[in-house]
Chains A and B, each alone.
Chain A
């Protein structure tokens, strides 16, 4: 089955700097890679996702890159702000017509220093 590894487990960056979180996956059948953000005491919510037919996707200050050959994908946050402080989870799943077993990485706790 799929195994997703996520690094680093904690990350502290100065406000305004960039943050990068990296994930690797094992199942070559995986072709959908979402990222979820969980603020303290709240439920995880999708912030960006990428499919295997795309190498990069951007949404304002957030971008995700995918290298299918190397089986890794990364989340990039630029111009970090205090509200970016949260736990971020990457995930991988194959695109099936029915069941989608979504496997998560272990999470990265991002702290933004003022």
Chain B
């Protein structure tokens, strides 16, 4: 089974703190994603990466950065946390579509971040 592991299930941080959310996948997937989930807004893409050291902005990248130094690990960084970044953060990975693979997303369990 594909396993996507997020380092923290629950975090409480203060405004202005630097926050690291880490995600590790064990299936050698090329693509990794960070989504933010808020009620009524669905899953909004923050950043994604299709290769080591490669990253592309999603729909809501402001206030976030990412790092992908190794294929299996994709980190989301909040340089200076703000209260409007209180949310559920979901990491996902997927293989490249083609060669019999659909590009299905495999999600982690989520990290619920509260910024006070």
A residues contacting B by CB (< 8 A) are 1, 6, 9, 32, 34, 36, 43-46, 49, 89, 93, 95-107
B residues contacting A by CB (< 8 A) are 30-31, 33, 35, 40-45, 48, 50-51, 56, 58-59, 90, 94, 96-98, 102-105, 107-110
Could you give 15 example pairs across A and B, Cβ below 8 Å? A32-B102, A36-B105, A43-B107, A43-B109, A44-B90, A44-B107, A89-B43, A97-B98, A98-B96, A99-B48, A99-B56, A100-B31, A100-B96, A102-B103, A104-B43
Q: Looking at chain B's contact residues, is the secondary structure mostly helix, strand, loop, or mixed? A: loop
A-B contact count (CB 8 A): 71
A80 to chain B, nearest CB (A): 22
A64 to chain B, nearest CB (A): 13
User: What 9 pairs across the A-B complex have the smallest Cβ distances?
Assistant: A99-B50, A106-B42, A43-B107, A104-B43, A107-B42, A46-B104, A98-B50, A100-B103, A104-B42
Question: Complex: how many Å from CA A103 to CA B45?
Answer: 7
Note all chain A residues with C-beta closer than 8 A to B105.
Answer: 34, 36, 44, 46, 102
